[in-house]
Chains A and B, each alone.
Chain A
Amino acid sequence: MTDAGSTTAATGGPNPITQIERDTLATMTHTSWAYWAGLLAAVSLMGVGGWAWSQMLREGMGVTGLNATVMWGSLITTFVFFIGVSHSGTLVSAILYFTRSPLRAAVGRSAEAMTVIAILTAGLYPVIHLGRAWLAFFLLPYPNQRGLWPNVRSPLEWDVFAVCSYVTVSSLFLYMGMLPDLALLSRRVTGWRRPLYKALSLGFSGTDGEWGLFEKAYPIFAGVAIPLAVSVHSVVSWDFAMTLMPGWHSAIFPPYFVAGAIFSGIAMAVLLLGGLRRGFRLQRYIKAEHFDLLAKLLLGMSLVMTFVYATEFFMAFTRGSETESEVFRWRATGTYAPVFWSVILCNSVAPLVLFWKRARRSLPTMVVLAVLVTVGMWIERFMFIVTTLAHNYDPYAWRDYTPTGREMLVCLGGLGLFLTLFLLFIKILPSMSVAETMQGEHAAGASATEDSTPASEVSHAA
């Protein structure tokens, strides 16, 4: 990116605010070989996934391991997983906004972008799972000559409304937060980017009136986004809980899904922020304290998930339903027992290491844990979908399911798409809020000046 802004303050000396702008826009201005390598890997993964999907379109869903008993498998697992990843971005960002947390300036933008990208990726999987993807528009309610209308009493139809609303609101939430930064960018860059950013900034100029409006509109939007985020994953949980299937038909599913979504979303945020911090030398803004806070959140959600797993088993064995208790017994000891115990290891046992402060402050430990939790959450979704379907009411129909190679490639393609879009996002748009970082650094400087305590002690106390 060409820099048209001055590098020094108008007084001639270095300006800390300009430095903040330069640092926070580092993801756009500096492109290392590691970035290109990552982008190439992500695009390749996406390409392989696209090839595997083309095989599904050409040869039909027979290329998957799905059968009449287990008709939902890895594709629906990936849908639920990415909805989960998407969940926490907007939610965490909005909550951090209301709590005035200093974590927001560092984490908020990436988390919001992660939400939008993850939900776009997630939306692809029900369409892929349809087999005949070109008929996906049947899900939309519109008058047609066939006299068809989607069944609005089905949670699958609620998904259409919930996911479409969520992607719209999350995109606008992300965009609204970026308006001040886009306005700054439009004055900083040259060439074709200048009119682009100018148009994208919608004329935002930073006048007192605009800031007044912005500070009023943003909390309203955050207030809309929080219940919407909770509702979306609740609706996704009802895809399962509204059926009478053993292991699914449970009132605990909405909070269970919401907690799991926040859990996997935080893990993904740790991975993305770790990459940004290391790759673009943003240690000054994405601090060890931020990872410490994220680690505490991760640990807390892990404990919640463990409680939910235990509650599910407790309820299954005390409810008096033989089918239900059999499904849970089989889940822990049957064909898919390794899957179940992997979930326990990744989601319940491994995060316990975060009770130690040194682990919370260690970026490599956090990254390893975040990878384990991310994998663990995908496996968890796979576990509860497949074990219930494979081992439900009719023993005659019991059948196992193993995803085929092409099915798994389609799932990995989703990861490639997610990473590709995120890497493009940080290259084209600011991945940290410049205005909020300026405001935060200014406020921190002001409070340090007001307080006579030396800066090192303030930092230590914080």
Chain B
Amino acid sequence: MRHEDFVAVFADPDVAEKALRSLHDEGVTTARVASPAPFPVVHHTGHPGPWRVLGWVALVGGMTGLGCAIAIQVVTSRHMNLIVGGKPILSWTAFGIIMFELTLLFAGVTNFTALVVLSAVTRRWFPRRTRQQVTSERIVVVVPMAGVPEARRKAIRGSMSQAVEVLS
């Protein structure tokens, strides 16, 4: 964790949420939270991330799957001398099923990959050693203190008075 950060550990999600609201009242909107479960407190940090992108990424993945399914049909039909029981391979109706399946498969896999990659990116905003403090009974709130005047620091510490442990 960075020396300037104020790190407080809470045992109760409600108390953590109250502390965060209190910080907001003080005008501090830079606090971050790490929690073992998606308690309401994680939605009070005011840090919208890049997750709107996820829907578009899944859509692009799905379109790629559709493209691949069409490519399998067209490329193999035109460039390969294939034996399919003496019948032509080009059959859009029959291939509709495969297009559907590959569209959803690629959308799902892309969505998962995007989640893993973007999680790794957003995680970097949070100090590593602080992240490791999270357990089922420990919700960690981090407030960057760099450049914060002493009077305000006191107010922040006051807001966090319900914490069970203050790490720095």
Q: Is the CB of B82 within 8 A of A149?
A: yes
A243 at the binding interface (Cβ < 8 Å) = no
The one of B14, B33, B114, B116 that contacts A208, using a Cβ cutoff of 8 Å? B33
The one of B38, B114, B126 that contacts A435, using a Cβ cutoff of 8 Å? B38
A169 at the binding interface (Cβ < 8 Å) = yes
Q: How big is the A interface, by class?
A: 35 or more
Q: Is the CB of B34 within 8 A of A213?
A: no
Given contacts A152-B84, A207-B123, A442-B39, contact A217 B115 (CB under 8 A): yes
Which residues does chain A contribute within 8 Å of B118, judged by CB atoms? 213
Q: Is the CB of A17 within 8 A of B137?
A: yes
B151 at the binding interface (Cβ < 8 Å) = no
Given contacts A141-B76, A172-B108, A176-B115, contact A224 B58 (CB under 8 A): yes
CB closest chain-B residue, reference A12:
B164
Given contacts A205-B134, A217-B112, contact A158 B97 (CB under 8 A): yes
Q: Is the CB of A227 within 8 A of B47?
A: no
Given contacts A180-B36, A442-B37, contact A209 B115 (CB under 8 A): no
A143 at the binding interface (Cβ < 8 Å) = yes
Alpha-carbon gap, A409 to B35, bound state (A): 49
Could you tell me which residues of chain A, from 143 to 164, have a CB within 8 Å of some CB in chain B? 143, 147-153, 158, 161-162, 164
Distance between B81 CB and nearest chain A CB, rounded to angstroms: 6
Which residues does chain A contribute within 8 Å of B76, judged by CB atoms? 141, 149
Q: Is the CB of B101 within 8 A of A213?
A: no
Q: Is the CB of B119 within 8 A of A202?
A: yes
Q: How big is the B interface, by class?
A: 35 or more
Q: Is the CB of B94 within 8 A of A224?
A: no
Distance between B35 CB and nearest chain A CB, rounded to angstroms: 5
Q: Is the CB of B136 within 8 A of A21?
A: yes
A229-240 vs B, Cβ < 8 Å mask (1 yes, 0 no): 001000100000
Distance between B96 CB and nearest chain A CB, rounded to angstroms: 10
Q: Is the CB of A165 within 8 A of B58?
A: no
B122 at the binding interface (Cβ < 8 Å) = yes
CB closest chain-A residue, reference B134:
A206
- 23 sample A-B contacts, Cβ–Cβ < 8 Å, listed by A number: A148-B82, A151-B87, A152-B91, A152-B95, A153-B87, A153-B94, A165-B105, A168-B108, A172-B112, A180-B36, A205-B34, A206-B36, A207-B34, A207-B125, A209-B119, A209-B126, A210-B123, A213-B51, A213-B118, A216-B52, A217-B54, A231-B101, A435-B37
Chain A: residues with CB nearer than 8 A to chain B? Answer: 5-6, 9-11, 15, 17-18, 20-21, 141, 143, 147-153, 158, 161-162, 164-165, 168-169, 172-173, 175-176, 180, 183-184, 187-188, 202-217, 220-221, 224-225, 227-228, 231, 235, 434-436, 438-439, 442, 446
Chain B: residues with CB nearer than 8 A to chain A? Answer: 9, 11, 13-14, 32-39, 42-43, 45, 47-52, 54-55, 58, 72-73, 76, 80-85, 87, 89, 91, 94-95, 97-98, 100-102, 104-105, 107-109, 111-112, 114-116, 118-120, 122-123, 125-126, 131-132, 134-138, 164-165
